[in-house]
Amino acid sequence: MDFSMFKNLLTKYDSFIITSHVKPDGDALGSVLALTMALKKYGKKVLPIINDEVPKKYRFLPRCGDVRPFIPEVDKAEVMICLDSGDPERLEFKRDLRDICQLVVNIDHHRTNSMYGDMNLVDDSYSSVGEMVYFLLKALDISIDYDIAVCLYTSIITDTGSVKYSNTTPSCLRILAELVELGVKPEVISREVFEKKSLESVMLLKEVLGTLRVCEDGKLAYMTVTKNMMKTTGAKEEDIDGFINYAREIEGVEVAIIFKEQENLKVKVGLRANEWVDVSKIAEEFGGGGHARAAGCTIEGPMHKVQELVLASIKKYLKEGFR
């Protein structure tokens, strides 16, 4: 991808809003902050705007406190640069982007991008938008200082799952190497992004592992989180994220489920598959949805009834295949 076209923008315009999607992850925040700092170094007026709270785990990012939600009638810029957002709705400005700026630049690596920008730099061969920002800075001859390096490093390791996912390329590994040379400490960033756990979440994990059941010749594994476990451990809803992988990663398991007891006699059901089962079909059967290998739904009823229903449906699929 040729990022040099971006150069003309900087000759022509002086004020920029740089934004990304709500529920921002490491790539959204890392790329917004890196590009903001870079364009400021270039002498531009830049507002980093994200219409949501910055999650606690990313508050170590340099200049993170500058990111804030949009203030109507106050925030204006000639150009809005939208990062890592497949469609404009996920930015949650709740108005036409052209009411805020003259020009929309859309930089993204999602294949499903709706090409909503006046300029669209969209290419799914990049591991992360952080990687795209790296090449953008190179094209603009903006030097990468330590703070920018920390942000780009965070972008890339978040989106590649610490170089474990299939989007890990020689290019992004070499960028990580360069960023470490600029002073980034891999163990410090990794600890912030992947490791730090609360004692409460570890105690909840212990409780939830105690409910693990495996059936159907080891192909189906499920776990249960009750309201009582949440209360006694003091864990938070977000602490449950990723627990389902303990069931999914067991050798031989194809479908993993986590049942989370909610208020008002409802149960939230998380579904994962490893290789061939399309769990989105199971989720849809109960009014939910998702992807083939990761889906979910919420079902009314007491826990044992919901488990009965969902397990019966999955056992049927595992035996008969899909219709």
**CB nearer its own copies, residue 85 or residue 233:** 233
Contact map string, positions 158 to 177, toward its own copies, x by CB under 8 A: --x-xxxxx-xxxx-xx-xx
Distance CA 246, CA 242 (A): 8
Distance CA 91, CA 49 (A): 9
Which among 276, 315, 271, 273 is positioned nearest to 293, based on CA atoms?
273
**CB nearer its own copies, residue 98 or residue 197:** 197
The answer to whether residue 124 forms part of the interface with its own copies (CB under 8 A) is no
Structural Rg of the chain based on CA atoms: 22
Answer yes or no: are the C-beta atoms of 292 and 284 closer than 8 Å: no
**CB nearer its own copies, residue 36 or residue 128:** 128
Q: Out of 115, 202, 265, 312, which residue is the one contacting its own copies (CB under 8 A)?
A: 202
Distance CA 244, CA 238 (A): 13
Which range of residues in 61-69, 91-99, 104-112, 210-218 is near its own copies by CB under 8 A? 210-218
**Neighbouring residues of 87: CB distance < 8 A, sequence distance ≥ 6:** 113, 114, 116
Which range of residues in 44-52, 111-119, 206-214, 280-288 is near its own copies by CB under 8 A? 206-214
The answer to whether residue 217 forms part of the interface with its own copies (CB under 8 A) is no
How many chain residues interact with its own copies (CB under 8 A)?
A: 45
Distance CA 101, CA 8 (A): 17
* DSSP-assigned letters across all residues of 33-95: HHHHHHHHHTT-EEEEE-SSPPPGGGTTSTTGGG-B---TTT---SEEEEES-SSGGGG---S
Three-state SS at 280: helix
The answer to whether residue 190 forms part of the interface with its own copies (CB under 8 A) is yes
The answer to whether residue 191 forms part of the interface with its own copies (CB under 8 A) is yes
The tokens of 297 are what?
A: 């739904």
Distance CA 120, CA 144 (A): 24
**CB nearer its own copies, residue 217 or residue 320:** 217
Distance CA 166, CA 135 (A): 20
Q: Out of 178, 278, 284, 285, which residue is the one contacting its own copies (CB under 8 A)?
A: 178
Q: Out of 214, 303, 309, 318, which residue is the one contacting its own copies (CB under 8 A)?
A: 214
In whole angstroms, the minimum distance from the beta carbon of 24 to its own copies comes to: 20
Contact map string, positions 6 to 45, toward its own copies, x by CB under 8 A: ----------------------------------------
How many CB atoms are closer than 10 A to CB 12?
10
The answer to whether residue 251 forms part of the interface with its own copies (CB under 8 A) is yes
**Contact set with its own copies (CB under 8 A):** 157, 160, 162-166, 168-171, 173-174, 176-178, 180-181, 185-187, 190-191, 194-199, 202-203, 205-206, 209-210, 212, 214, 218, 245-246, 248-251, 274
